[in-house]
Chains A and B, each alone.
Chain A
Amino acid sequence: MSGRLVLALALGATVLAPLVAPTYHVLLMLPFMAYAVALLGLNLLFGYTGLVSFGHALFLGVGAYTGAFLTSVFKVRSMEVILVAAAALGALVAAPVGALCVRYVKIYFGMLTLAFGMVFYTFVLKFYRLTGGDEGMPFLRPTLLGRSIEGLPKTDYLAGPYYYYSLAVLVLATLVMWRIVHSPFGLCLKTIRDNPTKAETLGIGVARYRWCAFVISAVYAAVGGALLGPPTGNVDPTLAYWTQSGNIVFMTLLGGFASFFGPVLGAFVFIYLQDWVMSVVPFWRLIFGAILAAIVIAAPGGLAGLWVRRPSVEASSS
């Protein structure tokens, strides 16, 4: 089955889901779509630039808290304004953080991003008057495309207008990211992933490109974070905790970082598998740990790697 057909079927099923699927499963699609947006960005850094961030929950948090502040403090309810503000603040925070982090690679980069993530987590946890501390902040129901939908019950709002709004954001984010990774800029990122020394001698400024990838990935994570707010209606520090950073790296590995849609698939499987495992056993992290170990050993290319056919040498020579 061709990739385009699978994609069309997946998109069709996603569009039809609110009409045919149980509401509970439709609502589970909301965190999936939010994480999918964030993971498209994370994979620009991970799969295309070769940098593994263990602190991207920082940007999920920036996006989510931006929405919470705007709706509950500044009384701004427009989701479009929230998304733009989240993206702008994500970039603003990522610019200096990225400038420091991309000077390092491998475990040093990972540890630095983790450290910055923990600084932000501690900030939102401890500055109680500003952020509500461990209780978090309310993320009031936003308007969508200028339309206030206050009259609709919350479940109907989420499984209806907000669902399609999230889907539209995901489709738009996917199209933009597809264009980025297939651009001359995207090619330069791949050279840096494969061999930074060689890339440098071809005149490609490695640190500058890494920084750009970092900022773009942060923008995506912040938009994803903002999308996570309305379903729960509350934003608290656990969203910025290091386990969230671990979760999104897990999703990327689960789906396969070598494939464009791998992380999106990873987010989908993670959300539904987590929900199912949590409903069956209380120690769900143990099961997930075992799954991750199995993937690393048996399928290092992730779920997408099991399906994507790599072109053979003979085929590519002909």
Chain B
Amino acid sequence: MILRAEGLRKLYGEFCALDGVSLAISAGEFVSIIGPNGAGKSTLVNVLTGVLRPTAGAVTFRDRDVSGIGPARLARLGIARSFQLVQVFPDLTVLETLQAAVVSRLGHGARLFASLAADRAVREGALEIAELFGLGRKRHVPARHLPQGDKKLLDVASAFALRPQIILLDEPTSGVSTADKTAIMETLVSASKRIGVQAIIQVEHDMDIVFGYSDRIIALHEGRVLADGPPAAIEADRRVVDTVIGRRARAR
């Protein structure tokens, strides 16, 4: 197991967003977290990525307690994430955005008097990721001028530029046209193989994407794990079908 969460509870005042969630992620897995709105998916993502400290329970990454250590330290340890609502640096170009991630990964951020333009390791690392995600030709375009699909790709690509061991994708295809969804998923799966990402965890509402790419699915409901298993088992689980997947799965 490279990532383990045990007995996670998260309270917002009286409201219990997570109620004893446990999960374990092994190397080589593509795990999807599904659930209706309010199931606790976003809270779980924020706890796993160190943004929120759990009220109880712990998150361990390679046997190290990383509960609530913050996204910056977690990213440096090897867990990266992308966001449901696309997050870019509006005034930075595609290349600069990816360079920032590579600078962080290589620990070059403390170089006050070094020339960024002359830093070949940073430039080549950024260009490699830009090409991998099909953004090479747009490398000089400021992020704010990119179409929405490319912004989403850039958000994900910058997380990949950290060369993380685990990547957590919060609805990687949300806000993207149906035609672009498969292309984005294919791109990020092939990119993860190319750069050696050991596990992908995604939160996703699109069941075609979930069942099409996952090795394992974790269904959340009212802050608890409703089911945890391979896609076939999840599809056959009546509780999951009734509360999470609905008719769409039955029609498959």
Contact = CB atoms under 8 A, between A and B. Distances in A.
Q: Do A and B truly interact?
A: yes
Interface of A: 176, 179-180, 182-188, 190-191, 193-195, 197-206, 209, 311, 313, 316-317
Interface in B30-85: 49, 70-73, 75-76, 80-81, 83
Nearest to B158: A202
A186 B116 contact: yes
Given A185-B110, A191-B92, A209-B109, A179 B115 contact: yes
Contact of B89 (A179, A184, A186, A195): A195
9 closest A-B pairs by beta carbon, nearest first, are A203-B75, A194-B89, A203-B104, A198-B87, A184-B108, A184-B103, A316-B140, A313-B145, A203-B76
Contacts of B96: 187, 190
Q: Which of the four size classes fits the interface of chain B?
A: 35 or more
Given A201-B49, A317-B140, A190 B115 contact: no
A191 B108 CA distance: 14
B142 A316 contact: yes
Contacts of A316: 93, 140-142, 145
- Residue from A190, A200, A202, A204 with most neighbouring chain B CB atoms (10 Å): A202
Contacts of A187: 92, 96, 99-100, 103, 116
7 contacts: A183-B111, A194-B91, A200-B70, A200-B75, A201-B75, A201-B80, A204-B100
Contacts of B217: none
B12 interface: no
Given A183-B111, A194-B91, 11 more contacts: A183-B112, A183-B113, A184-B114, A188-B103, A194-B89, A200-B70, A202-B104, A203-B75, A203-B76, A203-B101, A316-B142
Classify the secondary structure of A's interface with B: helix
B109 A185 contact: yes
A218 to B, nearest CB: 15
A205 B145 contact: no
B91 A202 contact: no
Given A184-B119, A316-B93, A316-B142, A199 B100 contact: yes
A200 B109 CA distance: 13
Contacts of A205: 72-73
A194 B83 CA distance: 16
A204 B70 CA distance: 11
B116 A183 contact: yes
Given A184-B122, A185-B110, A316-B140, A202 B115 contact: no
Nearest to B82: A201
B130 interface: no
B194 interface: no
Contacts of A202: 72, 75, 80, 100-101, 104, 158-159, 162
Contacts of B250: none
A184 B109 contact: yes
